[in-house]
Structure 1
């Protein structure tokens, strides 16, 4: 029965705080001019997930980013349709789980739902406290207040925003003493230091959050023949979005010393020229506490200590002109730069040629060794956003692969590691892995394994550390199937059997049963060749039913045949 004209129906779905809702259409047929709108929130001021008419919602599953969905169904005065039946998919149980177009009341069920992604804990300002904390899921708020004698700077209420990128709508406020002068006024956006032997550079507003959309440039110029050293006292910027760049000389020289973001305290930076340029750029979104940098000037008499790369080692300690040092990386890491560098002197300038390398965990690659490690990009630090990394492991065909998880932590529901039993993503999927639960050891059925890591544009976790090893096969390869036949048995270990049967009308050529044995060459293999199913030229058939095929069917028969088929049935037929 069709729905009526001129209706305005509202359906509200609510689950527990911190949970989400999946909703899909089991049936969906609306007449032209009639529409269902679905909002990602508790009313129609929320973001629209979709507006559907006709049969547009069939095959679509919508996922909320909060614990509410709001549905509005409108019909006009023209033709009507069958309507719709929507089902929310709840992992734990169904409770008021059907929404139909014929309902007249507002359905407001309380469901269990799936876990939503949370905003990170914003912390508590110094000399302040939380008045209320509703949790860190989409739509929840935290309210702050300052201790007596302090005044709040910033928003007193933070709200966890909906959408793919979980973040608070404002930076953490600060509590400033009423009798003290505001220290954040002293930290300006950019400046020039000339002839000063030491000093300090602070991000705007430090130690309080810097502003959005900044473009700040500082230039440090010391006496000729001297170099500039930078030491980081504090560093906290939004990873991959708010970037600090350090140049040896002016930027137009294109001599980059470092590009930094995140919350890891950087190592010291040393120039080879008497000038350093520092540029800080922020985006429109999240703000952090920023940075404090101390600079100093010194006379260059030799090359600076090239250091030891993180996740690597160095051989050689010389720093005089002509001295060389070499580097290598720990297993699983790749050297970015040259393995060998030399100390060079040009007038009063001392520098390494080329620049000292670093060891990074690469995003993907082809691995052919009998054992090795696979690391998420940047490991052991959080992996970058929006990464697509693919690894192919291929070893000798006499071996299979064993993959062990040493550590594993990626963002649930948004970042995934896919592992395939074969050379590419069209191979059988062994598993899709997420969250922080350490998976069990897995093995391939052949000598290749394909791994694909996908991260989204927001939250990052610590990542993963995997170890693979090649091991001798203890089973036969998949024997395959026969045309016009079927196979019974899917275990290929030593001693296992598989049996083949032909479809009606075909005759088995060869042995029907194969056994996996250890061959004379020490490798597992099948004791017989694969049989085939052939359509014979002539046959004698009995029984109440059967099949008669021309020779070689379904392929063409050949010339020069004379085939006789005899069919016998019981006397009563």
Structure 2
């Protein structure tokens, strides 16, 4: 028998092979792992017998596995799993670097290193096509060289990155580090190297690249020549993270990274109040009738970021009754960056006034003669918190709408949805489904002001909303707030004796675990278990079992006639 498996990952990835079980006939049957696509690719290792090999990692994004056996003794075989570690050494003249999981959310606890190497004497240009990470905690370091000890060009997080960067040597080092909490869509970065083009960019004016301007801040000074300096200041309500000047150095790089203008974040260390009689209200607009958060009970709340709606003061109010009392709460507050919105673009046949996208900034649009301005209907959003608005909000929505909204957060988290404003005319409805489309479980159908003071929680990381209006009267519509929370998992179903897991998606609602048996055993039961959605967490079937196959020959001790 001669079997061949090809493992092909994304071009910027490598392949890591782990041997979980290994038993082939010594000397005659063997497994060969090759570092590439073709039979003549370099051999990473050739293995036989029953000693489990050490893990292997490819140098590129393709691995070839070959299994050769003779016609005599058989054995149990092998169980190999593969993953694609992030990072890599890139030597192509042009290419793309994507955060792990792109265009979905990257994972927690990453530590990815990319080294881009060009021909000697060729600088490298990297361009940020898309960049969005958790502010302050998930960072990308860019260094002007081939190691972590090389000079730092910049440390980037949130959405604050320059349009492009250029190295002074033929190497650039990138380190992407994430913590164990929230994640986001990450980044898409293009790189290219060219001796003539980039040398001309640097030398024609003897100046550094424009360092940019902090979100919710201003730059003081516009000279970018070698030896010149610029400083920054923040809008009212924000604090500058670093007030030292940036100096354009002889290597055409700024002396330090662009500072940021920061707001306030509350972190809860202890929290125990009598539910529901004692509670804590947090507001950022002075209105406790519609607070940003209402917190009670004994579950430790996740961090709360204030200033997301363009207001720069936050108030906290603690309310308790005359009966039982508990430990209370311990809260600390720190500054955090307030992320700008993405550029929404400009509709066809129209013009836009405004080019700033920070918190509190506004844009206005007007149509060319012969066209009518109408708000886009529906949205598809990803993230850990945000707002959904009805068309034209805060003005009245129009008639005959069928708007689709979808929300997706990172795997393992659910979505909580509540209304800050909800005012629909009779006959106009909002349907909310617990999943990725309208075939999912219906959480509710709302009209009038029915959704005020109602909180909905999903059982997966997706919500689907349908807003339908008729041809009659209209109203103000809705402003819905969503945030993410940790989902409850199904318990680990275990592994059948003499079996193993082929796939395990994490035991969250709607995820699956798939099983198979070792050679010589047959699976009895369902090979796939699904963690049920809904109010309870349970698997849809029992754990299967692996039973031995019956022999195909008669026993030598059977009776003879």
Q: Rg bigger for which structure?
A: 1
TM score, norm. by length of structure 1: 0.30
TM-score when scaled to structure 2? 0.30
